[in-house]
Amino acid sequence: MLDGKKVLFSGMQATGNLTLGNYLGALKNWVSIADDYETFYSVVDMHSITIRQDPAELRRRARTLLTLYIAAGLDPEKNCIYYQSHVSGHAELAWILNCFTYMGELNRMTQFKDKAAKHADNINAGLFTYPVLMAADILLYQADVVPVGIDQMQHLEITRDIAQRFNAIYGDVFTIPEVYLGKVGAKIMSLQDPARKMSKSDENPNGSIYLMDDPDTVIRKFKRAVTDSEACVRYCDEQPGIHNLIDIYCACTGRTPEETEKEFDGKGYGDFKMAVGEAVVGVLKPLQERFADLQKNKDYLDGIIKANAEKAQYVSNKTLRKVQKKIGFPERVR
């Protein structure tokens, strides 16, 4: 609890271009539930360097991402939007939690296995302990709830395990966070391969819709989306491509899968794909316009970045000092 409200924490990596999956699985939910919580939304640039980054590009992407949070509808006066690397407590708590996390637990993380396979030439220790930094992010703010997509569930489970282990030794230090999944959109799949999730790092750009894609590109990608030969808009596991398009359509329009099936009853895939494309353009266009406006306002953004980093530093320090005391670090002499 902070100021009488429950606390929400979430973050995104400043790696690659944000996709519709990031938006529908996370960012959109962040906006819809923000008012009910005291919120912390971080641009997790420290997580990004587990994979080699070009420095100028990382800086540019981090700023773009922070601006997108605001463009998506998060008011930075009410929501603490900040860069992870501006708040020293993330690294400090991560180190401590490393000492309460087992190699065996980290070895089981599927995302580590995937990334290690993809970047076989750079399997660094940071990639391995990535979930511990994520646990530190969440536990530093005593978050009650963490809205993410399905692919982050395993990381949330290890966060809870670490927190419970720590609490069992030292008393109730950390709030045990709950995961928040949206009703639709928690797992958006690639448009080219509905068996794989839509991903920022996909080599085939036609598989992903990027938040900055212009309307023509969006429509073209949906027209090319992989479906099947059933020729009927039905929400079932046997038609994964159509299932995914229905999820996207519902997440963008607020309709249910049943309503969507009825709406496109007797219509072909061409009509349906076009409607999905237009629904997505309808969501992205206002976001892109706000983004363009915000980008012009450098001083405003800089002010937000400074003020929110200070707030995050202040709030997170409280947890950090408590943890340091509990584990026996010497008190600071004032």
- Answer whether 21's CB lies under 8 Å from 149's CB: yes
In which order are the strands placed within the sheet that holds 178-180? 80-83, 38-43, 7-12, 145-147, 178-180
Token look-up 């995104």 returns 12
Kindly tell me which of 151 and 263 has the beta carbon lying closer to ligand TYM.
151
| Catalytic residue from among 6, 200, 223, 322 | 200
Closest-by-Cβ residue to ligand TYM is 25
186 belongs to the binding site for ligand TYM (CB under 6 A): yes
Q: Give the three-class secondary structure for 52.
A: coil
Among 72, 80, 162, 188, binds ligand TYM (CB under 6 A): 188
Considering only the stretches 21-29, 275-283, 301-309, 325-333, report the one whose residues sit in contact with ligand TYM under the rule CB under 6 A.
21-29
Least separation in angstroms between CB 17 and ligand TYM = 11
- How would DSSP label each residue in 178-240? EEE--SS-SSPBPSS-TTSB--TT-S-GGG--BTT--HHHHHHHHHT----SS-S---STT-H
- Residue type (1 letter), 25: G
| Residues found in the chain | 334
Q: Has 285 been annotated as catalytic?
A: no
Considering only the stretches 3-11, 53-61, 237-245, 270-278, report the one whose residues sit in contact with ligand TYM under the rule CB under 6 A.
3-11
145 belongs to the binding site for ligand TYM (CB under 6 A): no
202 belongs to the binding site for ligand TYM (CB under 6 A): no
71-100 burial: b if 16+ Cβ within 10 Å, else e: bbbbebeebbbbbbbbbebbebbbebbbeb
Considering only the stretches 150-158, 290-298, 299-307, 309-317, report the one whose residues sit in contact with ligand TYM under the rule CB under 6 A.
150-158
Q: Has 221 been annotated as catalytic?
A: no
What are φ and ψ of residue 316, in 5° steps? -70, -30
Binding mask 23-42 for ligand TYM (x = CB under 6 A): --xx----------------
Kindly tell me which of 233 and 247 has the beta carbon lying closer to ligand TYM.
247
Q: Has 200 been annotated as catalytic?
A: yes
- Residue type (1 letter), 179: V
Query: Site residues (CB under 6 A) for ligand TYM?
Result: 9-13, 21-22, 25-26, 44, 47, 134, 137-138, 146, 148-149, 151-152, 155, 186-188, 197-198
